[in-house]
Amino acid sequence: MHRKMATLLAGALLATGATAHAAGDEEEKAVEYRESVFHVMGHNFKPMGAMMKGEIDFDAEEFATRAERVSQLAHMPMEGFMEGTADVADSEAKPGIWENWEDFQGKMEDLQETSAELAEVAQGGDKGAIAPKFKAVGESCKACHDDYKED
Amino acid sequence: MHRKMATLLAGALLATGATAHAAGDEEEKAVEYRESVFHVMGHNFKPMGAMMKGEIDFDAEEFATRAERVSQLAHMPMEGFMEGTADVADSEAKPGIWENWEDFQGKMEDLQETSAELAEVAQGGDKGAIAPKFKAVGESCKACHDDYKED
């Protein structure tokens, strides 16, 4: 249901935002929304990284909870990428997103898939089994950031 | 697992934050985290309210997706309420939270329960069955805001 919903919403938002116009309240709210989602995601992802690197103790229960959150959050930001939101001040999203919408959407779906796999394997609490799945999520993040996020 | 995790985290954070001190980076990050969670929650809750009031068309699929998100998000903010974060500039949390920690924690658990019930009934798409469950979530929000959130 999640995927279908995201696609529906994205389509609807693209349709309503098809006319070029300056950033208004709607657009600013969309940017604030997506940035909030990514902030919550990053806050949960960071300690998972520290655990995998051995910077802090590996806590299987905490890791699994955070992995589940990242997987849930991966379904939330898309509606914040409505047309016209590239112009909003302080947005870190590159205009290339809307020029390559299907590629961007595909990369978000990659994150949804890799983070779901990580959340599932994290239930087992086996750090060795978790490692490649965690790496895949990191690569999903990076693939999108490299192309579509301002440094 | 979620509830146990939240309790564990809250306990750990209370323990580490037991000494009174001025707000630093850790505290500011905690505030930014919890505010981001509530922002994402509010963004998803608002259109549900508009649908229930008939201000916008009732879309059963969208409603169910947003209800599920609110239910997921209800498990995320607690770790942002670490001790010492009442002093952070612009925080809307009242110091009473830490003076009545068990009550605050109980109110957050109420939100987790009412939002889980809403997410479940929302799967059925029956607006009449959804209405009382939606009202209960709104009351969970309000009960906590009345006591613990600055206007």
- Of B41, B66, B69, the closest CA to residue B125 belongs to B66
Sites in chain A below the pLDDT cut of 70: 1-23
Contacts of B1 in chain A (CB under 8 A): 61, 64-65
In chain B, residues with a C-beta closer than 8 Å to the C-beta of A112 are none
CA B30, CA B33: separation in Å to the nearest integer? 5
| Contact between B5 and A61 using a beta-carbon 8 Å cutoff | yes
Any domain includes A65: yes
Q: Is A37 inside a domain boundary? A: yes
ipTM above 0.95, yes or no: no
- Three-class SS of residue A58? coil
Query: Is A145 among the annotated ligand-binding positions?
Result: yes
Contact B1 A62 (CB under 8 A): no
Interface contact flag, B76 A40, Cβ < 8 Å:
yes
Please give the pLDDT value at position A41: 98
Asked if B43 lies within 8 A of A33 by C-beta distance, the reply is: yes
CATH number of the domain that residue B135 is part of: 1.20.120.10
> For chain B, which ranges sit under pLDDT 70?
1-23
- Domains contained in chain A, number: 1
pLDDT reported for residue B111: 98
Residue B12's pLDDT is what? 44
Domain with A118, as residue range(s), is 26-81+90-148
Other CB atoms within 10 Å distance of the CB of residue A55: 9
Q: Which chain B residue has its CA at the smallest distance from A2's CA?
A: B65
Cβ of B32 and A40 within 8 Å? no
Q: What does the longest C-alpha to C-alpha distance in chain B come to? A: 51
Residue-level pLDDT at A86: 86
The whole-number pLDDT of residue A22 equals 56
pLDDT of residue A5: 53
Asked whether residue A3 is assigned to any structural domain, the reply reads no
Distance from the B73 Cα atom to the nearest Cα atom in chain A, whole angstroms: 8
Query: Which positions in chain B touch A36 (Cβ < 8 Å)?
Result: 36-37, 39-40, 43
Considering only the beta carbons, identify the residue of A8, A64, A76 that sits closest to B40: A76
Q: Is residue A120 part of a domain?
A: yes
**Burial class of residue A44, CB neighbours in 10 A (0-12, 13-18, 19+):** buried
pLDDT at A1: 41
**d(CA B110, nearest CA chain A) in Å:** 20
